[in-house]
Structure 1
Amino acid sequence: MKVFWTIDQRTSRRVGRLRQAGFTLVELLVVIAIIGILVGLLLPAVQAAREAARRMSCSNNFKQIGLGLQNYHINYKQLPVHGVGPTNENMNSTTAAILNDGTGFTRLELSYLVGLLPFIEQQALWETISNPLVETDGDRWPAFGPRPTVGSYPPWAADIPTYRCPSDPGFGLPGLGRTNYACCTGDAFYDAEEGATIFVSGRWRYETDSRQMERVRGGMRGAYVPRKSMKFRDFLDGLSNTIMAGEIISSLGDRDKRSVSFTNAKGGFQQVADNPKRCEELGYIDPQRPRFWTDAANVTFGQRGHRWADFHTLQSQMNTILPPNAEVCLVGSSDTYGYAPPSSQHSGGVHVLMSDGAIKFITDSIEAGNSHAPTIYFRALTSEYISATPVGSMSPYGLWGALGTRASSEVIDEEF
């Protein structure tokens, strides 16, 4: 009996020690709660780290574009033209330009990003574009293709990784090949729709129409003048003080004021050109969601950044009139000119590419002068339309506007 009692006693102690080694229900709940709190604290940090990585990748893509532009200039003594391509010299028909029987033409609407392709390791795509293309379904395309609005021409629908910012979630139709990097046309917008080369009296005139060249000299003050070859020698303000290109978001199909422009009730050209805040003051920005237009706004015309090969304002241009991430406000439909500030999905600002190749992050709060000052224009539409801001003036849009001009003699003595 004594032996058995001793064994039972030892067994009881062993069981007791085993029971003491486990967790009680309360202890388990406390541990789970602590893990939940740690996960809640860590997730924002992980998301921030991911965005920081995407932002760095976005900057690196822009850097590659900047290096490509520098190399292009070294090789050709000029920048790639924005608004270029073989065309029918005696025709300006948009209908004829999109034909798939081999007679279509570019209508001088190709962006600077097309000519840049061989300098960003896209030689194969460049070879496809620069040669005639016959497809198995019978479509025939000339060298450099039709208008960049034609989605059935394969190169225009290509997504090029270097032309995309990883922070931008946009993809697929109705976009063709999207882009997030737009060239800078300065602190004015007239006449960015036509540029230096215009179709007049039944033929294209290459920098030979006197009225159009007056318009260009008066209002096209940026690194890029559409349909004109630009050289670094033109940048009298200095390459490090002149923005070459800026970041833009591609439209997600929502009513984001940075990616679509409403067109109803804005009045004529002069009302918009004389007041950069015209679209905002009409009351169509949602007070509950100030980054979006209201349902009453007509935003059916155009989506920003949907066609990398298209030179028009909404697709691959930006200007330094309104500050970064402000609203897009065009005079007319998607192919017209207007206010097109840079924009991004990063917090607080946008990347810009300076003409010397440097990448800068510009905050939304950059000093931008008087956003109600008339933009500069000369002989707009008719000879009667001349801006209240004289041609040749320093930019009325502060440091931001000054960074957009190439030869306006503004003194830049601030950090940006």
Structure 2
Amino acid sequence: MDRSQRAGVSLVEVLVVIAILGILMAIILPAVQNVRETSRKSSCQNRMRQLGLAFANVESAHRAFPTNRDVYKQILPHLGHQANYDFLINNSRVSSPEVVQEFSCPSDTMPIIAEFGQLASYRLNEGTKFGEQSGQHKHYNGFQKFNSYNLLDQSFVSLNTPASAITDGLSQTAALSERLRYREGTRYLIAEPTPTTLARETGRYAWFISEPQPSPGAELPMREQCQHHRTVPSDWDGGHAPLTGADRGYNHLLGPNHPACINAVSSNRWGYSSEETILPPSSSHRGGVNVLFADGSLHFIQNQVDLDVWMALGTRSNNEPFQHQF
């Protein structure tokens, strides 16, 4: 062998090594991402379980589940935030990253801000009917019974949902689920969403429909419109759930992660009632959403859940016969 000849690797060998490294990265990165999402999903579930315990403590103390507009505030003492609750009696906002995290799912990638006006990841179940006016309050047929304002004093008890009102059974009635935050709570942190973003982020924003439906009785005709006749997405989700007071929850008219719909056409984007919105739960978890039941149990409900079963889980006293098929 000629000693003057330099030892080395050929171009082909270099390319082979690069190709092998590329294959390894393609295998490893998805696995790492799956592990991270599993961890985030677990944290999300643990936070929901803590909310379930807080709900049970309030029910034990006041003989009713906290289900009105001030639900997030009412359960603060039962989450270890008595000082923040006391502060909120006379103030509408509090800068507390710990409090915001209690109501935020780590899987939601929308930026959050450390103030009590931030949108929550978790929303109450309104049922299968749009809000109906009952005196000064909105009435629902889900876990949430009424919605009203300024209820930090003891008067909130009569507007909450007593366990006796849930005749379908606590284990058969959904109480709380997830919904991805939309830009409303981060308007100063991120740019306006583009039409492409709106269409892609179906779990955050609601769509307009081709033929608005008259009320009352708009729910089922609108569901058909939302399934088959959506037109263009709007730049909000049709609801509003800041920690300072949840105007809207979610409902069971369509299954998990189905696009939300507003009862209006795009040319009349401000001429509709926010109550008439189909708002399914949504999440970044693969294949479904977490649902907390009135008995405190937590289930992961798949996107393909039977719609009749899903609607039955959304009502508190309709006496629908069904078996769990999660």
Is TM (by shorter chain) over 0.5? yes
The match for 1:391 is none
Q: Distance in 2 between matches of 1:302 and 1:46?
A: 31
Instruction: Write out per-residue CA displacement over residues 235-258 of structure 1, whole angstroms, 9 at most, x where no aligned residue.
Output: 211111110111111114442343
1:280 offset after TM fit, Å?
4.8
Q: Distance in 1 between matches of 2:323 and 2:239?
A: 33
Instruction: Write out per-residue CA displacement over residues 76-103 of structure 1, whole angstroms, 9 at most, x where no aligned residue.
Output: 22112413xxxxxxxxxxxxxxxxxxxx
The match for 1:115 is 74
- Count of aligned positions: 290
Which of 307, 318, 321 is the matching residue for 1:411?
A: 321
Mind listing any 5+ residue stretches in structure 2 that lack a counterpart?
Answer: 148-158, 184-192, 264-270
Q: Does 1:340 align with 2:276?
A: no
Say if 1:241 and 1:412, in contact at 8 Å, map to a contact too: no
1:304 offset after TM fit, Å?
5.0
Q: Distance in 1 between matches of 2:11 and 2:228?
A: 61
Q: 1:328 to 1:345 in 2, by over 3 A?
A: same
Say if 1:221 and 1:406, in contact at 8 Å, map to a contact too: yes
Q: Does 1:273 align with 2:214?
A: no
Q: Distance in 2 between matches of 1:116 and 1:54?
A: 23
1:335 offset after TM fit, Å?
4.1
Say if 2:167 and 2:317, in contact at 8 Å, map to a contact too: yes
The match for 2:108 is 168
Mind listing any 5+ residue stretches in structure 1 that lack a counterpart?
Answer: 1-11, 84-110, 134-144, 146-152, 200-211, 285-293, 369-397
Q: Distance in 2 between matches of 1:301 and 1:166?
A: 21
Q: Quick one: which amino acid aligns to residue 243 of structure 1? A: A
Q: 1:119 to 1:27 in 2, by over 3 A?
A: same
| Most deviating of 49-58 and 220-229 | 220-229
The alignment partner of 1:245 has SS state of strand
Instruction: Write out per-residue CA displacement over residues 326-370 of structure 1, whole angstroms, 9 at most, x where no aligned residue.
Output: 2222346574343211111112111100111111111111111xx
Q: Distance in 2 between matches of 1:171 and 1:334?
A: 28
Say if 1:189 and 1:338, in contact at 8 Å, map to a contact too: yes
What are the residue-to-residue correspondences of 1:116-195 with 2, within 5 Å? 116-130=75-89, 132-133=90-91, 145=92, 153-154=93-94, 160-172=100-112, 176-191=117-132, 194=133
For the aligned residue pairs, the C-alpha RMSD in angstroms reads 3.1
Q: Does 1:65 align with 2:51?
A: yes
Which of 37, 41, 47 is the matching residue for 2:27?
A: 41
Say if 2:291 and 2:301, in contact at 8 Å, map to a contact too: yes
Q: Distance in 2 between matches of 1:53 and 1:154?
A: 28
Q: Does 1:239 align with 2:239?
A: no
The match for 2:187 is none
Q: Distance in 1 between matches of 2:67 and 2:135?
A: 11
1:23 offset after TM fit, Å?
5.2
Q: TM-score, normalised by structure 2?
A: 0.77
Asked which structure has the greater RCO (Cα within 8 Å, sep 6+), the reply is 2
Q: Distance in 1 between matches of 2:64 and 2:241?
A: 27
Q: Does 1:355 align with 2:294?
A: yes
Instruction: Write out per-residue CA displacement over residues 354-409 of structure 1, whole angstroms, 9 at most, x where no aligned residue.
Output: 111111111111111xxxxxxxxxxxxxxxxxxxxxxxxxxxxx111111111211
Which of 256, 261, 266 is the matching residue for 2:206?
A: 261
Which of 145, 166, 169 is the matching residue for 1:225?
A: 145
Which of 292, 304, 309 is the matching residue for 2:244?
A: 309
Q: Quick one: which amino acid aligns to residue 121 of structure 2? A: N
The match for 1:79 is 65
Instruction: Write out per-residue CA displacement over residues 137-196 of structure 1, whole angstroms, 9 at most, x where no aligned residue.
Output: xxxxxxxx3xxxxxxx446999610111111111258x94121110112121231xx5x4
Percentage of identical aligned residues: 27
1:272 offset after TM fit, Å?
3.6
Q: 1:243 to 1:283 in 2, by over 3 A?
A: closer
Q: TM-score, normalised by structure 1?
A: 0.62
| Most deviating of 54-63 and 31-40 | 31-40
1:324 offset after TM fit, Å?
1.1
Q: Quick one: which amino acid aligns to residue 38 of structure 1? A: L
